[in-house]
Structure 1
Amino acid sequence: MTLVHVVTSRNRTQYKEQMSQYFRIRHEIFVEERGWEQLRRADGVERDQYDNAQAIYLLALDNGRVVGGQRLYPTLLPHMMSDVFANLATRGVPRSESIFECTRYFVVKERRTGRTDCRLLAAMQEYCLSAGITDITAVVEMWWMPRWHQIGFKVRPLGLPAVIENEPCMAAQIAISRESLEQVRRVGGLRGPSLLQEKRHPANERMPHVAA
């Protein structure tokens, strides 16, 4: 069964092989498939300055194989929307301890017609609800908007669309809620949690994480 694992600086050494897969798949999808040539690297690994100790990865794993993933990053730090796409957020770039940015979302090609997409999106809501994250920001292609509405996400545009890499894109903010989680579970036919069972950490550690 595919489950979504939370990978952070605390447990990343337990996911060395999966993280290696993740960065190579990012290159395959965003460079080879989608044509983002500025990200091309000779070693076939796609990483950027936000792949650091502050990044939180949600990896959909099937028997140890990465079939989907996304990256969450704190908006109180310089992040992709504030550094690269601030012009898209004409209403201002949301920044708060309880707001994280989602980037580098993908599902491998052979899983795009199944439940992996909904499982990853449900896992994002589950993780954020457990971690006290109230909103997610993202810069996405316009086709994401009807998809988000279909699965019950409450989305607030942060500005007007602009063409990026030959695609109309926009900055948006997604509210985290139990209602959105239940709707994406219904749409995806998901039963129970999508995240691997969490191991709780001491109360003074704000962000709960999942052990391997």
Structure 2
Amino acid sequence: MTSIHVITDKNKAGYETILDEYFRLRHDIFVGERGWRDLERPDRRDMDAYDNEQATYLVALDGGRVIGGLRLYPTLLPHMISEAFAHLIRGRDVLSGSTILECTRYFIVRERRMGRTDCRLLAAFQQFCLEEGITEVTAVVEMWRLPRWQQAGFKVRPLGLPTMVEGQTCIAAAIQISDDSLRHVSRLAGLRGSCLVRGTGVSNLVDRVPHVAA
């Protein structure tokens, strides 16, 4: 059963193998599938300057196997939008604050993209942010993703105009965090309870199994 694990600098020692698989999958997807050659590394792990002690990862696991994930980063620090994509923000300053995070490197493995994994990761994303007092999350996303988020009950506002990035039409946007969005996407995910796991390592896999609707 899919569970979404919160991995931070405080508990990453219990997730060493999981994180290694996560970074390898990021390389497979963003370099291999999407062709972002600037990210290519000889060790075939996608890691950059924001994979540091300030990063929080939400990693989707099924039977101990990584099937999806995303990275969250504080916007009060220099972050990807402020340092690499500030030109996507039109007519305003880069959105930042203590209750605003940036989301990057969102992915689901190819064979799980047609099921409920996407909605479960999005539900965990909303739940985590609500629990942490986060009000908005910024991201640079491909335009094709926006209808999917809207179907999931997310309220998204553009921060600029669509722009070509790595051969894809992308936009900087802000996602509102709300109980309504969590309830809506949880229904789509078939969840009766939480699938978010806050633990010390993969031993929690047997302890926290999400309830799903029949």
The answer to whether the superposition gives a TM-score over 0.5 is yes
TM-superposition CA deviations, 1:71-124 (whole Å, max 9, x none): 000000000000000010113211101100000000011111111100110000
Where do 1:29-178 residues align within 5 Å? 29-90=29-90, 91-178=92-179
TM-superposition CA deviations, 1:10-29 (whole Å, max 9, x none): 00000000000000000000
1:27 corresponding residue in structure 2: 27
Which runs of 4 or more aligned residues in structure 1 lie more than 3 Å from their structure 2 counterparts after TM superposition? none
Q: Partners of 2:190 and 2:9 in 1: how far apart?
A: 32
Q: TM-score, normalised by structure 2?
A: 0.91
Q: Partners of 2:6 and 2:49 in 1: how far apart?
A: 20
Aligned-pair distance for 1:189?
2.2
- Native 8 Å contact 1:92 1:158 kept in 2: no
Which sections of structure 2, spanning at least 5 residues, go unmatched? 202-214
Q: TM-score, normalised by structure 1?
A: 0.92
- Native 8 Å contact 2:4 2:196 kept in 1: yes
2:194 corresponding residue in structure 1: 193
- Native 8 Å contact 2:116 2:188 kept in 1: no
Amino acid at match of 2:62: D
Q: Partners of 2:150 and 2:67 in 1: how far apart?
A: 24
The aligned length equals: 200
2:15 corresponding residue in structure 1: 15
Percent identical residues: 59
TM-superposition CA deviations, 1:153-175 (whole Å, max 9, x none): 01110000100111110000011
2:200 corresponding residue in structure 1: 211
TM-superposition CA deviations, 1:131-187 (whole Å, max 9, x none): 111110000000111111111101110000100111110000011000000111122
